[in-house]
Amino acid sequence: MSNYNRNNIPRVKHWYDERVTNVFDDPRITAVGLLFEAHAGLSARFNAQLEEHGLSAVEFEVITRLARSPGNQLRMTDLAAQTSLSTSGVTRVVDRMERDGLLTRRACPNDRRSSYAVVTASGMQRLNETLPGHLQMIEQWFTGQLDPEALAALLDGLRRVRDAAHPCATAGSDDVSPEQVAATDNATRRH
């Protein structure tokens, strides 16, 4: 370590003004803050709308992921891998949603250890009631805030960050090969 970088803060790049008033007001922190606050803000908006339909964010994610899977079903483990939940978390969400009639468990014919979570007719109906409003919220607070080029740039940047940082979230899906999943999964999934 030479002496052009006396403080032990990593060397800054040149995409921001170096004259910072306070060490803790680092532009990198601000950048992260921007992403996190955007996320928090959207979450809050979405939660409010989802709650009107009696769904929490995780329940909505679960039912959506099931609904777009073949047969409207997914094995518990695959569901856990696709969501931000642990397997025990999935057990409990499915418990609640089964109690509420949105989902059912179905035994897996080939493997008696596995069971599928399946969306019921009532669950599909709930989703159909919820989704239009949800898409509207997305347009209102997210995609509609930017013109097409800016949005494309934003999504492009997000995709790159996601690809770099995200510890995999598409197990059991058809658009990702299982080997690819197995390779990256479980390494950094949970802190």
Partner DNA sequence: GCCCAACGACTGCTTGAGCAACTATAACCG
Partner DNA sequence: CGGTTATAGTTGCTCAAGCAGTCGTTGGGC
- Residue from 91, 104, 108, 131 binding its own copies (CB under 8 A): 131
Strand order in the sheet with 103-107: 73-75, 115-119, 103-107
Cβ count near 99 (within 10 Å):
9
H or E, element range at 87: helix 87-99
CA distance 147 to 144: 7
Our finding on whether 89 is near DNA (CB under 7 A) is yes
Q: Give the interface segment with its own copies, choosing from 89-97, 99-107, 108-116, 183-191 (CB under 8 A).
A: 183-191
Closest C-alpha among 191, 172, 127 to residue 182 = 172
Our finding on whether 26 is near its own copies (CB under 8 A) is yes
Our finding on whether 176 is near its own copies (CB under 8 A) is no
Q: Which is nearer to DNA, 14 or 99 (CB)?
A: 99
In our burial notation (b when 16+ CB lie closer than 10 A, e otherwise), range 115-130 reads bbbbbbeebeebbeeb
Pick out residues in 76-105 that bind its own copies (CB under 8 A): 84
Question: Which does residue 94 touch among DNA, its own copies, none (CB within 5 to 8 A, set by kind)?
Answer: DNA
Please, which residues have CB within 8 angstroms of residue 41's CB and are 6 or more apart in sequence? Answer: 141
- Residue from 28, 68, 92, 162 binding DNA (CB under 7 A): 92
Our finding on whether 190 is near DNA (CB under 7 A) is yes
Positive/negative CA dihedral, 133, 54, 39, 74: negative
Number of residues that bind DNA (CB under 7 A): 30
Per-residue binding string, its own copies, 30-49, x by CB under 8 A, is: -xx-xxxxxxxxx-xxxxx-
- Residues in contact with DNA by the rule CB under 7 A: 56, 58, 75-77, 80, 84-96, 105, 108, 110-116, 190-191
